Structure 1
């Protein structure tokens, strides 16, 4: 049967495969579908972000995602409270009408929740239950909020990117950061299951520097040019940070609940500081807009210096490592320093990462209890 206007209501805190199945079912059955994202102001995932996630997952032209703030109290036995929730939903529909969008009356409400039938009654619409026992997609928002890693398979790529814990391995040049980052990712990949998809993001600055040197040698017809002969501009460091973060985000969308990053925007800002003797406000802005959760700082002590013309000289490695650690401390960012042989460094990095992964998931409790 085809309905003229189907309605889907949810918190989508966060969206998951069951929600997508619900919306897709409505989309196949209706000329037009309105998906109302009803979020309370106390919830931790921003309403705008949830709306953006759903719009990415459901780009069908006849499906519209409408954000609504719903701070009505929770009382399933109160008719007044139910009416307050419905009033918020209607306000979302009315807003579209006020913007000049023709909104036909809702004639079907699609839901997997017990309140679906009552909601449909209040809209004078048919109720279309969609897998109420959740046999096809055994997942709920509550389950994900309690244990994101345990329900990772049901999350869309942008939700994974938001929830993945990002661990940065950083340090002075030639202090074993790349070796440790690779090994840390390989350790979690070896755990299997959801962790098998753990990604390692290489340092984009290395790639950029290699390409810059190759271009300089070609342009000067001088294969003897070295990294020390290159001239750097501030905008290049910003570009490096932007591209590194883009690679990070792409890896987080397809990886496990853990992402291992070989350096980050903060390290790029300090690199800018050392090379140009100037602050890097644009890179600072990039750093502040990106969520990293733990920094593992590699001590240069005991790591033989391998000169390549790109890294800090051997006498400067300790100063660079101290500068990074001091900046992390000044900003109050969680970090550990690892030292000693590689096996000890890896063991310390794994212990710190395990402690991070054991922390409570980053969700504030919603106003409405139960599956959302």
Structure 2
């Protein structure tokens, strides 16, 4: 969207105020409406400290979403004052927070979708501009998103989705179906999944070996600490990128905690750097090796270690503070168990602390 002619814009400086808890398409439409009619716009993000999403996150999300409109400035201030639209003294407290965020720059238009917009504009000596108060153009609200993020996922920006997405990590010993399970779950839920970078690196290292030694096999591949640091770095980068386009669940074939076990398997111990990179997903799915034939596809070398690795995964995951569901039996039974666990994860919903509400 191109910017308004600053000499001919309807308003010199517009203000938008909100909690943006979290930002959604309705908020973006409001800001875009202000940007279309103002030479400059200040968006004031003003939540209370009791809310669950940090102020800095919200400011960052809005700046990213409106980076294409450089005349829109996003600033944040915490506003812990009570909410009472009938009390002039309380209005004074809130307006002082907003005025501080404006930095002394006067406004001549206040854009809002809320009933309080007219009084807010009056107190700043500005014109009130009401935008879609009945939420007909963009039928969503922050209250609705907090109550059921999954149902309102389409109204959220990539950055907000990435923050809210529930990450489900599938781990297990070699040739126990982690990739098959991650892909199957992504297909079931119509969302994305993150392949295992370590397998890609193995294939690349083997291909490099074969340039000089055509007969080289995966048993000739040599690993070092830097390789596992690379696996963690690239795996997490791919996971974070996928989270921005994912549905409410994102399925990951391995993670840093699993990489530490692979590092231990090849080098005898895991490094502090790899262990420190471990995150806290919403759920681990552990694929058991029992009853799963070993598929020697040329990139696998640990059939004799599968039982040991399964035991290591059990021990490692038991103390990580993340729910773990083990998958046993044929693929169909494993998938059914995994789907039930993921459905329960979605049914549990998301927790948001209540915002400050009118007295």
Report the TM-score range of the alignment, normalised by the length of the smaller protein: over 0.9
> In structure 2, which of residues 180, 195, 207 is the aligned counterpart of residue 202 of structure 1?
195
Indicate whether 1:27 and 2:35 are aligned: yes
Structure 1 residues 88, 173: CA separation in 2 closer, same or farther (over 3 Å shift)? Answer: same
Indicate whether 1:7 and 2:15 are aligned: yes
> In structure 2, which of residues 41, 62, 73 is the aligned counterpart of residue 64 of structure 1?
73
Instruction: State the SS of the aligned residue for 1:144.
Output: helix
CA contact (8 A) 2:82 2:358 kept: no
Q: CA deviation at 1:307?
A: 3.4
**Where does the alignment leave 5 or more consecutive residues of structure 2 unmatched?**
1-8
Q: CA deviation at 1:308?
A: 4.9
Once the two structures are superposed, residues 250-289 of structure 1 have per-residue CA deviations (whole angstroms, 9 ceiling, x without a partner) of: 222122111111111211122112212233322333323x
Quote the residue 2:254 is aligned against: 263
> In structure 2, which of residues 11, 19, 26 is the aligned counterpart of residue 18 of structure 1?
26
Q: CA deviation at 1:105?
A: 0.8
Q: CA deviation at 1:311?
A: 4.1
Give the whole-Å Cα distance in 1 for the aligned partners of 2:137 and 2:73: 25
Quote the residue 2:324 is aligned against: 335
Give the whole-Å Cα distance in 2 for the aligned partners of 1:42 and 1:148: 19
Quote the residue 1:118 is aligned against: 119
CA contact (8 A) 1:16 1:141 kept: yes
Give the whole-Å Cα distance in 2 for the aligned partners of 1:40 and 1:216: 58
Once the two structures are superposed, residues 133-157 of structure 1 have per-residue CA deviations (whole angstroms, 9 ceiling, x without a partner) of: 1110010000000011111111111
Indicate whether 1:87 and 2:76 are aligned: no
Indicate whether 1:322 and 2:331 are aligned: no
Q: CA deviation at 1:104?
A: 2.9
> In structure 1, which of residues 204, 218, 225 is the aligned counterpart of residue 216 of structure 2?
225
Once the two structures are superposed, residues 84-143 of structure 1 have per-residue CA deviations (whole angstroms, 9 ceiling, x without a partner) of: 11111112223xxxxxxxx53111111001110111111111111111111100100000
> In structure 2, which of residues 271, 275, 285 is the aligned counterpart of residue 284 of structure 1?
275
Query: What is the TM-score with the length of structure 2 in the denominator?
Result: 0.93
Structure 1 residues 143, 137: CA separation in 2 closer, same or farther (over 3 Å shift)? Answer: same
Instruction: State the SS of the aligned residue for 1:358.
Output: helix
Instruction: State the SS of the aligned residue for 2:13.
Output: strand
1:172-211 equivalence runs, <5 A: 172-189=173-190, 198-211=191-204
CA contact (8 A) 1:307 1:313 kept: no
Structure 1 residues 360, 54: CA separation in 2 closer, same or farther (over 3 Å shift)? Answer: same
Q: CA deviation at 1:309?
A: 6.2
Quote the residue 1:133 is aligned against: 134
Structure 1 range deviating more: 265-274 or 43-52:
265-274
Give the whole-Å Cα distance in 1 for the aligned partners of 2:314 and 2:240: 25
Instruction: State the SS of the aligned residue for 1:69.
Output: coil
Give the whole-Å Cα distance in 1 for the aligned partners of 2:274 and 2:142: 35
> In structure 1, which of residues 328, 345, 348 is the aligned counterpart of residue 334 of structure 2?
345
Give the whole-Å Cα distance in 2 for the aligned partners of 1:225 and 1:331: 38
Instruction: State the SS of the aligned residue for 2:77.
Output: strand
Instruction: State the SS of the aligned residue for 1:287.
Output: coil
CA contact (8 A) 1:227 1:308 kept: no
Structure 1 range deviating more: 274-283 or 314-323:
274-283
Q: CA deviation at 1:78?
A: 2.1
Indicate whether 1:247 and 2:255 are aligned: no
Please give the root-mean-square deviation of Cα atoms over the aligned residues, in Å.
1.7
Give the whole-Å Cα distance in 2 for the aligned partners of 1:123 and 1:285: 50
Structure 1 range deviating more: 346-355 or 357-366:
357-366
